[in-house]
Amino acid sequence: MVVRLFVSTILALSFAVAGCSESATEVTHKSEALASPFDTGVLNVATRNGSTTYYLDRHENPVGPEFTLVSEYAQARGWQVEWTMLESTSAVLDALEAGTTHLAAAGLTHLPERNERYTRGPAHTEITEQLVCHRDDRPLPRKPADIPGWEITVTADASYVATLEKLAVQHPGIEFREDRERTTEILLSEVAEKDLSCTVADSNIVQVMRRHFPHLEVAMNLTQGRNLGWYLPAEAGELASDAREWMNSREGDEAMGLMENRYYAYIGEFDFVDLRALNRRIENRLPSYIDLFREAEITTGMPADLLAALAYQESHWDPQARSPTGVRGIMMLTGRTAESLGVSNRLDPAQAIDGGARYLADRHRRLPETIPEPDRTFLALASYNIGRGHLLDARQLARDLGKNPDSWQDMEQVLPLKADKRYYPSTRYGYARGYEPVHYVQRIRNYRDVIRRAFRSLPEE
Q: Where are the alpha helices (DSSP H) in 101-202?
A: 112-117, 159-170, 184-192
**314 is an active site residue:** yes
Nearest one of 450, 383, 435, 451 to 208, comparing CA atoms: 450
Q: Where are the alpha helices (DSSP H) in 82-151?
A: 89-98, 112-117
Under a CB-based contact definition with an 8 Å cutoff, are residues 347 and 355 in contact? no
Distance CA 67, CA 258 (A): 12
Distance CA 197, CA 190 (A): 9
**Helices 203-212 & 272-284 angle (0-180, nearest 10):** 50
**Helices 272-284 & 286-300 angle (0-180, nearest 10):** 80
Under a CB-based contact definition with an 8 Å cutoff, are residues 329 and 359 in contact? no
The amino acid present at 103, given as its one-letter code, is L
Residues 314, 436, 460, 461: which is the catalytic one? 314
Distance CA 14, CA 19 (A): 9
Under a CB-based contact definition with an 8 Å cutoff, are residues 135 and 125 in contact? no
Distance CA 173, CA 195 (A): 22
Report helix, strand or coil for 425. Answer: helix
Distance CA 254, CA 212 (A): 29
The amino acid present at 9, given as its one-letter code, is T
Residues 6+ apart with CB under 8 A from 387: 429, 432
Under a CB-based contact definition with an 8 Å cutoff, are residues 47 and 65 in contact? no
CA dist list (Å): 58 to 228, 302, 306: 27, 13, 11
Distance CA 225, CA 206 (A): 15
Distance CA 281, CA 271 (A): 15
Residue 120, phi-psi category: left (phi > 0), alpha (psi -120 to 50), beta (remainder): beta
Task: Considering only CA atoms, give the Rg of the chain.
Answer: 24
Residues with catalytic annotation? 314
